[in-house]
Amino acid sequence: MSFSLVQVNTFYPGFLNDAYAAAPGKADAPYADQIGWLLDMGFSDPHMFTRPLEALGVEATQIIANCGPAQAAWLRENGAGGVLQSEHDALRMQIDALKPDVLYINDCITFDSVFVRTLTHKPKLVIGWRGFPPPDATDWTAFDAILTSFDKMFDWAKARGAKKVIRFHPGFPRDCPAIATPRAPDLDVVFSGSVTRQHSYRIQLLNYLGGLSRLPEPDGFAFGLFMNDASALDPTVAALNRGAVWGNEMIATLRRAKIVVNIDVDAFDNQPPNMRLIEATGAGAFLLTPDHPQLPEFFAPGEEIETFRTPAELVAKLRHFLDDDTARERIALAGQTRCLADHDLKSRAIWLKDILETELRG
């Protein structure tokens, strides 16, 4: 089946600010050059499907709705002035001009049904992705389907008016440049991510690990925090923060870690797979992640990843595997092999294309 698709994402403002600050003049480049450059950096790669869908014959266009320089370039090139007055207005103009069969909105909170109903062009299929608890006021009544990895989202999405909820998982790109060189871990324990009010357990564990890491040897360990904002942590732990790493740089950082710690959002009760489960194993790192009955559907605990049930068990396994290089690296390699074989982005794109074709026929 032939169809066209527009995928709409918003990127973290911190990433966009850092990217453009490091590339003076890039904001003046043509729209297509800016989008290609941003995609090449690998930000949110497990959810970026325009390129893999294009490889499958889909006419796919990527829009980063909150990227002011790129959106301004599109407006200039399409006779609309080039001054970005509103993210919503610019996106509406793009969708109405492109007239896609499928509109796939990853940020379906900022651009929920209130926005969709303002479009002059009515796509045959409007779908969204959500892997985080939605606000109560979210309106998804104009969405044909919400894709998610998480059980709780099925009830939440239906309560907000979504016509259908479909299971779908992110994937890891096999061609990620950060995994092209041999792994040489030089960081003990790494956490990369963010903290919000939805991450109380994450904050608790990071404070706990940060405190323990400051103990004298042999009880302490080098704890690397890579966060855009660590102000929610205890000040002595926040002082360990080395700043945010994004996209391919984040994957390279995870690859340098002897151990990566994964701590998911509170609301999903550690149900897999969250982004870090896919990214850390894809990077080739040894992953310690909260135990969950569904984990064996994705990775074999004790063989491809390791799990913990309590903070004490987390620390015991950290110390054990920091001392056992052979077992740690064997599990890390097995986890990466499994990720690239079963959870790669290309196979996810095939799955997504099947979902879209089924919904379009329906």
Could you give the residue ranges of the DSSP H alpha helices within the chain? 13-21, 31-40, 50-55, 68-77, 87-98, 113-116, 151-159, 200-213, 235-238, 247-256, 275-283, 311-323, 325-342, 345-361
pLDDT at position 118, please? 96
CA 67 – CA 76 distance, rounded (Å): 14
Q: What is the pLDDT of residues 31-85, one digit of tens each?
A: 999 999 999 999 999 999 999 999 999 999 999 999 999 999 999 999 887 666 7
The CATH number of domain 177-342, selected from 1.10.238.10, 3.40.50.2000, 3.30.70.2860, 3.40.50.2020: 3.40.50.2000
Report the candidate in 230, 203, 190, 192 with the shortest Cα–Cα distance to residue 318.
190
CATH topology of domain 4-171+344-361: Rossmann fold (3.40.50)
Reply yes or no on whether the pLDDT at 248 is more than 90.
yes
Reply yes or no on whether the pLDDT at 316 is more than 90.
yes
In the chain, where the domains are located: 4-171+344-361, 177-342
Report the candidate in 150, 171, 158, 162 with the shortest Cα–Cα distance to residue 266.
150
Exposure string (b/e) for 342-354, b if CB count within 10 Å is 16 or more?
ebbbeebbbebbe
Q: What is the pLDDT of residues 111-135, one digit of tens each?
A: 999 999 999 999 999 999 999 999 9
> 């709409």: which residue's tokens?
8
pLDDT at position 45, please? 97
pLDDT at position 152, please? 97
Mean pLDDT of the chain: 96
Reply yes or no on whether the pLDDT at 347 is more than 70.
yes
Percentage of the chain modeled with pLDDT above 70: 99
Let me know: does 331 contact 306? Beta carbons within 8 Å: yes
pLDDT at position 82, please? 63
Q: Do domains 4-171+344-361 and 177-342 have the same CATH topology?
A: yes
Contacts of 123 (CB under 8 A, 6+ apart): 6, 95, 100, 101, 102, 103
pLDDT at position 85, please? 74
Mean pLDDT across the stretch 104-111? 98
CA 58 – CA 345 distance, rounded (Å): 15
Reply yes or no on whether the pLDDT at 218 is more than 80.
no
pLDDT at position 220, please? 82
CA 353 – CA 7 distance, rounded (Å): 13
Quick one: tokens of 340?
């690239």
Reply yes or no on whether the pLDDT at 322 is more than 70.
yes
Inter-CA distances, 72 with 13, 82, 100, 340, Å: 16, 5, 21, 37
Residue with more model confidence, 244 or 86: 244
Mean pLDDT across the stretch 27-34? 97
